[in-house]
Structure 1
Amino acid sequence: MSERLFTRLTKENGIAILTIDNPPLNVLSERVGLEIRDCVTEVEHDDEVVVLILTGAGRAFIAGADIKEFPTKMARGEAKKMALEHFHTYNRLDFLPKPTIAALNGVTLGGGLELAMACDIRIAGEGVKLGLPEIKLGLFPGAGGTQRLPRLVGEGRAKELMFMGDPITATEAWQIGLVNKVVPDDEVLERAQEMAKVLATRTLTALSRIKKAVDKGLEMDLTGGVLYEAELLDEVFQTEDIVEGCNAFFEKREPIFKHR
């Protein structure tokens, strides 16, 4: 696409950092969504990148969708188009064959939480508020929120959060399994980078298959999931990196993976 106005993508040592920068609160406009999708596509096709971190500039991760765009979505079919555009963006992130970490540095509401839930891991600052407040506008989360949230926290808690629309604290989010870690606000990106540095030493041949096994396995019964897992395991045993991993173990050294 043309020049990115509201996102920045940096890459170093196998780690890409995507920063949403649409001040003051990084609202998720259609343009921002398209730029995020473009960045994710670039990361997917960059063989040097192993892990992607998403974060926000300033005092918000993403404070929700751009409500100023809503009046143009009142005609039948327009809201569906908008929702599916954002959902397509989230799916590109969800199905990215590389680990993703959401570094939640501030307000994470509505579409921002939907985006964060499409990531594999969420690290939140202790002062972060998270929620899906759409009900207070007479709406509901329509870009995957009603589907991803119950898969993360269970049906009852998900319905309560969406019915009430009130934000919860980072600690509450951790207690129900919505975020993986809660850290000091000024250490969010640093902690995400620490985790990413470890992941960048792993091989994508295994990381990508772990992601596929978990994500697709959740859509199957246990037997089907185990059989699918076995197919992926057979695939990974045909890679160069399994040979390197075993050789490194026998030679008592750290492996040097080539992601093939």
Structure 2
Amino acid sequence: MSGLRVEEQPDRLVVTLDRPEKRNAIDADLIAALHEVCAELEARPRMLLLTGGTDGIFAGGADIAQLRERGRLDALAAINSAAFARIRALPMPTVAAIDGPALGGGAELAYACDLRICSERAIFGQPEVRLGILAGAGATHRLPALVGETRAKELLFTGRRVDAAEALRIGLVNQVVAAPEELLPAAHALIDEMAKGSALALRLTKLAVDAPTGAHPQLDLVSQAVLFTDEEKQRRMTEFLERRRGR
């Protein structure tokens, strides 16, 4: 895939942004490749680990040369935001592993994932207003959900950059690792923990959490009804009770 390296594992897809000469800038070809990844994970649901690798860059933002040439119809076509929304809506949990800068569209790509782990040299920022545009690929609604409206407005209005320590403190990331070489093992460890659960339970839990507020508790009830009749639930609960009796 153009701009991506993809590694298939039984329960996850590891996708690495691979445009080092452009600081992993997000261009039209990379967006097309992300759509291909989404199509694969929609057809065969697995967890996603999305990373820029451990060479000190996640994604430096959208490709400014391409962005400069886009007009109002391009904006209305939701080129980047549609791909990021598709990532957000993937059936199974997604994890972004961030080493170095995640700026502009690169940060929005990370926000589209369910969970984020970063190295100590990670940096997040939304510089769009300084380029005469807004953060139109998800930051205006995902960032407030992550860090609160007031903090999000400050970051979106000023373009101020956030380092790893602050990102952890304000809830932008779930975990910070000290060294870049610890990043991918930590991300895989997090996915390993999730993989201990029932795949269907994970999928329905994500669906419930991401549903509009008005869908609760009805969606919870329907999802639980589905799970209560699942053979996996019976097996797991039987094994749990047998372990307790064996103590």
Interval containing the TM-score (normalised by the shorter chain): over 0.9
Is it true that 1:248 corresponds to 2:239 in the alignment?
yes
- SS of 1:60's equivalent? coil
Q: CA offset at residue 59 of structure 1? A: 2.1
- SS of 1:251's equivalent? helix
Q: What are the superposed Cα offsets for residues 171-204 of structure 1, whole Å, 9 maximum, x if unpaired?
A: 1111111111111232111100111112222211
- SS of 2:216's equivalent? helix
- Pick one of 41, 50, 55 that aligns with 2:51: 55
- SS of 2:24's equivalent? coil
Could you tell me how far apart the structure 2 residues matched to 1:40 and 1:187 are?
A: 27
Paired residue for 2:213? 220
- % identical equivalent positions: 36
Paired residue for 2:230? 239
- Tell me, yes or no, if the aligned pair for 1:173 and 1:179 is still in contact at 8 Å: yes
- Tell me, yes or no, if the aligned pair for 1:105 and 1:189 is still in contact at 8 Å: no
- Pick one of 163, 174, 182 that aligns with 1:180: 174
Is it true that 1:107 corresponds to 2:101 in the alignment?
yes
- Tell me, yes or no, if the aligned pair for 2:56 and 2:121 is still in contact at 8 Å: no
Could you tell me how far apart the structure 1 residues matched to 2:69 and 2:129 are?
A: 19
Q: What are the superposed Cα offsets for residues 115-172 of structure 1, whole Å, 9 maximum, x if unpaired?
A: 1111110001111110111111111101111111111111100000011002110111
Q: CA offset at residue 225 of structure 1? A: 1.5
Kindly report which structure 2 residues correspond to 1:87-98, keeping only aligned pairs within 5 A, or say none: 87-98=81-92
Q: What are the superposed Cα offsets for residues 208-254 of structure 1, whole Å, 9 maximum, x if unpaired?
A: 111111111xx225xx522321221111112121111112112329x
Is it true that 1:31 corresponds to 2:29 in the alignment?
yes
Paired residue for 2:70? 73
Gaps of 5+ in 2: none
- Pick one of 186, 194, 197 that aligns with 1:202: 197
- SS of 2:20's equivalent? coil
Is it true that 1:16 corresponds to 2:13 in the alignment?
yes
Runs of 4+, deviation exceeding 4 Å: none
- Tell me, yes or no, if the aligned pair for 1:15 and 1:200 is still in contact at 8 Å: no
- SS of 1:61's equivalent? coil
Is it true that 1:124 corresponds to 2:118 in the alignment?
yes
Paired residue for 1:44? 42
- SS of 2:49's equivalent? strand
- Tell me, yes or no, if the aligned pair for 2:14 and 2:49 is still in contact at 8 Å: yes
Gaps of 5+ in 1: 254-260
Q: Which amino acid in the other structure matches residue 11 of structure 2?
A: G
RMSD after superposition = 1.5
Scaled by the length of structure 1, what TM-score is found? 0.88
- Tell me, yes or no, if the aligned pair for 1:122 and 1:179 is still in contact at 8 Å: yes
Q: CA offset at residue 42 of structure 1? A: 0.9
Paired residue for 2:153? 159
Q: What are the superposed Cα offsets for residues 17-72 of structure 1, whole Å, 9 maximum, x if unpaired?
A: 0111011310000110110121122123225x3x2100013321111000010232
